[in-house]
């Protein structure tokens, strides 16, 4: 039997353990994806504080530009895993999870760190993993993510959510039950969208944690640049002053 055929059968079998018949992820795969799409708030704060320490004269707008450049450098360098593990030494999330696609995992957690760091500068701290998931999925889905988030914001009575700056809708305006439903909708859209882009069936394209090969086929510099661009729409103009908690010398 050809090696490619053996590999495909193995991938199919692994994917069936992660994906339900309707194309959704099973609870274990969902849990792993959720962990990759969020970083603990202290990590995001430590990252922002370390950058402020290195660039003491930078304005919020300038620091956001530095974070974007850092994110693009990390996520487009290729090779070894990147992301929060690379940006904050000692974190070790990817290794701890034992994810088969380390580079894919690195991209996801790198995007989570990027999104949450930008949110901190805008005074929108994200301490809840589900809100972090919604924020990161929204950025990666682009217009589709924005439309879904604005729809949920409108259902919650937020007229302003019909326009830009949807980051605030996700991080603080939506009540927890709506955030939970939003994450499920975003995740389902995410899987379908990128499976279609990658080509082939859901099952034939998925790694054990549910989305590895799908993302692996499309995650590149273009996607990272899209996420960076979407963040401008999600958060709007940079604030004129930093939130007090991002001060390198801040003590709670």
Of 156, 108, 153, the residue nearest 133 (C-alpha) = 108
Torsion of CA 170, 62, 73, 32, to 10 degrees: -20
CA distance 130 to 15: 24
pLDDT in tens, the chain (252 residues): 444 444 344 434 444 445 555 555 566 666 766 776 777 899 999 999 999 999 999 999 999 999 999 998 887 664 334 444 444 444 444 443 343 345 566 777 888 899 999 999 999 999 898 999 999 999 989 899 999 998 888 877 755 544 467 999 899 889 999 999 999 999 888 877 765 554 443 333 344 333 444 444 445 567 788 899 999 999 999 999 999 999 999 987
Tell me, what's the pLDDT at 67? 96
Cα torsion angle, 116, 91, 67, 104, sign: negative
Which residue, among 2, 6, 20, has the nearest Cα to 210 in the 3D structure? 20
Cα–Cα distance measured from residue 41 to residue 132, given in angstroms and rounded to the nearest whole number: 10
How many distinct structural domains can be found in the chain? 1
Q: What pLDDT score does 235 carry?
A: 94
Q: Does residue 202 belong to any structural domain of this protein?
A: yes
Residue that is written with structure tokens 């929204």 in the block: 138
19 in helix, strand or coil?
A: strand
Per-residue model confidence (pLDDT) at position 10: 41
Domain annotation covers residue 11: yes
The region that residue 182 occupies, defined by phi over 0 for left and psi between -120 and 50 for alpha, beta otherwise, is alpha
Q: Is residue 246 part of a domain?
A: no
49 is in which domain, residue-wise? 6-235
Structure tokens belonging to residue 202: 């859901």
Alpha carbon distance 230, 143 (integer Å) = 9
Give CA 9 to chain center in angstroms: 30
132 domain residue, yes or no: yes
Neighbours of 216 (CB within 10 A): 17
Count the helix, strand and coil residues of the chain and give each as a percent rounded to the nearest 5. Answer: 70, 0, 30
Indicate whether 252 belongs to any domain: no
Which residues share a beta bridge with 19? Answer: 25
Let me know: does 124 contact 29? Beta carbons within 8 Å: no
Q: Torsions phi, psi of 87, nearest 5?
A: -75, -35
């Amino acid at each position: 039997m050809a090696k490619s055929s053996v590999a495909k059968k193995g991938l199919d079998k692994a994917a069936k353990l992660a994906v339900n018949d309707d194309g959704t992820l099973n609870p274990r795969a969902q849990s792993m994806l959720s962990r990759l799409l969020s970083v603990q708030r202290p990590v995001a704060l430590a990252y922002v504080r370390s950058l402020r320490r290195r660039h003491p004269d930078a304005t919020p707008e300038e620091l956001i530009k530095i974070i974007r450049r850092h994110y693009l450098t990390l996520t487009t360098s290729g090779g070894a895993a990147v992301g929060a593990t690379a940006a904050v030494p000692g974190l070790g999330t990817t290794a701890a999870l034992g994810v088969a696609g380390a580079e894919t995992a690195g991209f996801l957690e790198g995007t989570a760190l990027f999104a949450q760091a930008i949110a901190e500068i805008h005074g929108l701290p994200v301490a809840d993993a589900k809100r972090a998931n919604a924020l990161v999925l929204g950025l990666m889905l682009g217009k589709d993510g924005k439309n879904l988030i604005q729809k949920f914001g409108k259902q919650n009575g937020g007229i302003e959510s019909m326009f830009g700056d949807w980051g605030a809708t996700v991080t603080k305006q939506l009540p927890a039950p709506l955030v939970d439903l939003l994450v499920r909708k975003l995740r389902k859209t995410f899987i379908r969208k990128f499976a279609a882009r990658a080509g082939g069936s859901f099952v034939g394209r998925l790694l054990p944690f549910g989305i590895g090969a799908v993302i692996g086929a499309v995650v590149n510099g273009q996607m990272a640049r899209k996420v960076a661009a979407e963040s401008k729409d999600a958060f709007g103009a940079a604030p004129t002053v930093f939130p007090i908690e991002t001060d390198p010398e801040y003590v709670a």
